[in-house]
Amino acid sequence: MLNKKADNLSYRYEAELYLKKANRIVHPDFTILNKKSEKIYYWEHIGMLGDQIYSNDFVRKVNDYIEDGIIPGKQLILTYETKDEPLNIQVVKILVEEIVKS
């Protein structure tokens, strides 16, 4: 989906991001630049919600983003899936369009 919007967006996969307040480096699934508005978005996909350790680590990671001023629904895009509820491609399309419009 991101490749299809290359005229408007550029992105990097798992680029390093330093979170100052948490004093740690994370690697968001995607770091996306809207070329027109120059806004940067970080996209995290939570793909193993059924795994307790993974889920706990992810909650900590999202809290670290928030403490650093990267807010879900603004600069932080989140998608989810479980074993029984796979990622909905329509949701991905909607989110990419929203980034393009920003």
What average pLDDT score do residues 7-27 get?
A: 97
d(C-alpha 1, C-alpha 14), whole Å:
16
Q: Mean pLDDT in the chain?
A: 94
Q: β-pairing, 24-26 with 17-19?
A: antiparallel
Q: Indicate the pTM of the whole model.
A: 0.91
Look up residue 72 and give its DSSP letter.
B
| Residue 11, pLDDT above cutoff 90 | yes
Q: What is the pLDDT of residue 24?
A: 95
Percent of the chain past pLDDT 70, that is, above it, reads 100
| Residue 49, pLDDT above cutoff 90 | no
d(C-alpha 4, C-alpha 34), whole Å:
13
| Residue 39, pLDDT above cutoff 90 | yes
Closest CA to 63 of 76, 51, 52: 76
